[in-house]
Structure 1
Amino acid sequence: MHPPVARPEVLALRSSQIRDVANAALGRPDVLPFWFGEGDLPTPEPVRRAAAEALMSGRTYYTHNLGRPELREALSAYLGRLHGRPVGAERLAVTSAGVSGLMIAAQAVVSPGDRVVVTGPVWPNVAEIPRIMSGQVETLAVQAAQGRWRLDLDRLMDALTPDTCALFLNSPNNPTGWTLPAEDRAAVLERCRKYGIWLIADDVYERLTFGRDHAASFLELAEPEDRVISVNSFSKAWRMTGWRLGWMVLPPALVEPVGVLLEYNTSCAPDFVQHAALTALEEGEPWIAELRAELSAAKDQVLGGLRAIPGIEAPEPDGGMYAFFRIEGCENSVDLARTLIAEAKLGLAPGSAFGTEGEGWLRWCFAARPEKNAEGLARLAAYMSR
């Protein structure tokens, strides 16, 4: 009799170490949580109201696999304004969350045994999804140098070989905040064109940057026929983490196959959620600007506070909502995260959750009220003084 077990690729998946740590103290009022990637404030009221009205009006039926036409048109207009180049609505697919878009992209282009390059440390889903498809994942690490996060472009070029199927690139990056410099985009795109490599850009944090309106995007350079897939989400910039709604920008030839994959994954995103997303796109620019200002102030507060504590290294992020830092002597970030819960009542994400490249580091989501960040810094300082 065959035992009822999953296939080896699934059994080999790592569980989320963020969840492993957080679950030990989730809901405890004495622990200050900074482990998850979301802010303290709820989704803006107009978006919630639009969803409630759509729900009460009966918008509870299936929609088109690729998303409602009016939402795709609104996304087309939004992306055209943001990146200064037209992105046709016919190239867009609405997904049930950004992570669903990443999974569908992998299902569309990654076959068993394919070589996939990922920049890391990175949100574990980005690296694990190609492994679910039985891809062979190679991680290229960003490095902390001169107080910032950097990726050696020559090393990346060397990694993009003719036998590479895809490059998964998350910029701005979770957890480091590293952002691919605008001047490097053309070289990366040209190398992918040369060898027929799929470039799958996780652009979820593109609006959460410091010092500018948005991060540089491959959508500003790529032609529609390029092997470029941009995956994005309403989760971060519009404070819609729990809504689970995202989108993909695709080459025209991939739209129909992705529509079929969407049918076999989720069929479609909920209608009332798509209706709420229209309000987010139509009214949300002031909210995004406000969030960016809040995050910039929080970054300065938390990074400054961390650097004032002896024994802590905290490189500067270019975007995102995280401080990725390390405490001198830390070799096991999971053990340290558990110790901080027990002894400092402080909840942080272990760096090893983001791959072996993150071991020894900790992630602090600073998308929180100033007084909460201040109390967290005080608790960490008190722990370090002991």
Structure 2
Amino acid sequence: MFAPTPRPEIQDLRISRIREVANAGMGRDDILAFWFGEGDQATPGFIRQAASDALLAGRTYYTHNLGRPELREALSRYLAGLHGAPIGADRIAVTSAGVSALMLAAQLVLSPGERTVVVGPIWPNVVEIPKILSGAVEVVPVEAGQGGWRLDMDRLMSALTPGTRALILNSPNNPTGWTLPAEARAAILERCRRYGIWLICDDVYERLTFDRPYAPSFLPLATPEDRVIGVNSFSKAWRMTGWRLGWMACPPALMEGLGVLIEYNTSCAPDFVQEGARVAVEQGEPVVAELRAELAAARDQVVGALRTLPGVEAPMPDGGLYAFFRLEGCRDSLALCKDLIAQVGLGLAPGVAFGPEGEGWLRWCFAARPEKNAAGLERLAAYLGSR
């Protein structure tokens, strides 16, 4: 008799250490939680109203596999305005969440046994998705320094060999906030062109930057014939994490196959959710600007305070929602996070959740109101004072 077990690749997937920590603290009303990657404010009312109106109007039917034409056209105009390069609506697909877009991108281009390079530490889904497809993954780590995080370009180039099928770049990066310098794009794109490497750009945090309105993108450099896939989401910039809606910008040659893949994954995204997204992208620039200002202030508040605490190293992030920092002598970030919950009711994400490259570090999602961040910092200081 055969045991009812999943295939080995699934059994070997990394368990979410963030969820493990959260489960240890859920159910307690005294926890200050900064473990998940979302803010503490609801989606703006005009976006919710648009989706609600569409729902009440009965827009509950199937839509096109690639998304409603109105939303795809709105995204085309948005990307052209943002990056100064035309991305036609015929190259855009709407997906049921940004993580679904990452999975679809991998399904489009990766075959079993093929090698993917990832810049990390990184949100675990990015590393595990190629493994679900029976692929191999190599992580090139960013390095912490006095001025922030940096990527060793020579090390990355050495990893991009003729046997590499794909490079996945998340910039700004979760958890570090590292952002790829604009001047590095051309060299990476040329390397990928030379060896036929697919470049999958996880741009979910591209609007959450602190010294510019958006992060450098490969989309304006790439031609429609380049092996470049842009993956994005409504979750972060428009405060829509629970809506589970994303999009992809792809070479034209992929679109027919992508439509088939979406059919076999989710069929389509909900109509009324897409209407909320259309209004967000067409009317939401003030929301994005307000959020960026809030995050810049929160970054200065949290990272500035962390740097005053004894034994704490806190590089300055270039973008995103997170402070990634470490405590002197920390060797087990999961145990430390559980102890922070038990001792002072502070919920952080362990660095090991983002791969072995993140062990010894902790992630603080500072997309919270100033008073909540301040209370969390007081608890951390009290914990350190009692050690």
* TM score, norm. by length of structure 2: 0.99
2:6 corresponds to 1:44 = no
Q: Distance in 1 between matches of 2:192 and 2:152?
A: 17
Q: Distance in 2 between matches of 1:152 and 1:103?
A: 27
How many equivalent pairs are there?
Answer: 386
Q: Deviations over 1:184-208 (max 9, x none)?
A: 0000000000000000000000000
The 5 Å alignment of 1:253-272 reads 253-272=253-272
Report deviation, 1:211: 1.1
Q: Distance in 2 between matches of 1:66 and 1:27?
A: 40
Q: Distance in 2 between matches of 1:30 and 1:226?
A: 51
Partner residue, 1:173:
173
Contact 1:231/1:249, CA 8 A, preserved across alignment? yes
Q: Deviations over 1:304-325 (max 9, x none)?
A: 1100101000001000010000
Q: Distance in 1 between matches of 2:199 and 2:250?
A: 11
Report deviation, 1:28: 1.6
Partner residue, 1:370:
370
- One-letter identity of the residue aligned with 2:148: R
Report deviation, 1:9: 0.5
Partner residue, 1:185:
185
Partner residue, 1:224:
224
The 5 Å alignment of 1:47-86 reads 47-86=47-86
Report deviation, 1:226: 0.3
The 5 Å alignment of 1:299-378 reads 299-378=299-378
Q: Distance in 2 between matches of 1:256 and 1:35?
A: 38
Contact 1:325/1:362, CA 8 A, preserved across alignment? yes
Report deviation, 1:2: 1.3
What SS does the corresponding residue of 2:190 show, helix, strand or coil?
helix
Q: Distance in 2 between matches of 1:36 and 1:239?
A: 13
Deviation above 2 Å: which 4+ runs of structure 1? none
Q: Deviations over 1:253-278 (max 9, x none)?
A: 00000100000000000000001111
Partner residue, 2:106:
106
Q: Distance in 1 between matches of 2:371 and 2:29?
A: 16
Partner residue, 1:5:
5
The 5 Å alignment of 1:97-176 reads 97-176=97-176
Unaligned residue ranges in structure 1 (runs of 5+): none
Q: Deviations over 1:323-375 (max 9, x none)?
A: 00000000000000000000111000000000000000000000000000000
Unaligned residue ranges in structure 2 (runs of 5+): none
Identity of aligned pairs, percent?
Answer: 72
Q: Distance in 2 between matches of 1:43 and 1:211?
A: 24
Partner residue, 1:34:
34
Partner residue, 1:90:
90
Q: Distance in 1 between matches of 2:300 and 2:352?
A: 25
Contact 1:147/1:314, CA 8 A, preserved across alignment? no
- One-letter identity of the residue aligned with 1:108: L
Report deviation, 1:251: 0.5
What SS does the corresponding residue of 2:169 show, helix, strand or coil?
strand
Q: Distance in 2 between matches of 1:26 and 1:97?
A: 25
What SS does the corresponding residue of 1:199 show, helix, strand or coil?
strand
Partner residue, 2:17:
17
Q: Deviations over 1:245-299 (max 9, x none)?
A: 0000000000000100000000000000001111101110000000000000000
What SS does the corresponding residue of 2:362 show, helix, strand or coil?
strand
Partner residue, 2:203:
203
Q: Deviations over 1:34-81 (max 9, x none)?
A: 000000000000010011110011000000000001100000000000
Partner residue, 1:247:
247
Partner residue, 1:287:
287
Q: Distance in 1 between matches of 2:134 and 2:46?
A: 42
Q: Deviations over 1:91-118 (max 9, x none)?
A: 0010000000000010111111101100
Q: Which moved more, 1:312-321 or 1:143-152?
A: 143-152
What SS does the corresponding residue of 1:220 show, helix, strand or coil?
coil
Report deviation, 1:147: 3.5
Q: Distance in 1 between matches of 2:101 and 2:27?
A: 30
Contact 1:175/1:354, CA 8 A, preserved across alignment? yes
What SS does the corresponding residue of 2:119 show, helix, strand or coil?
strand
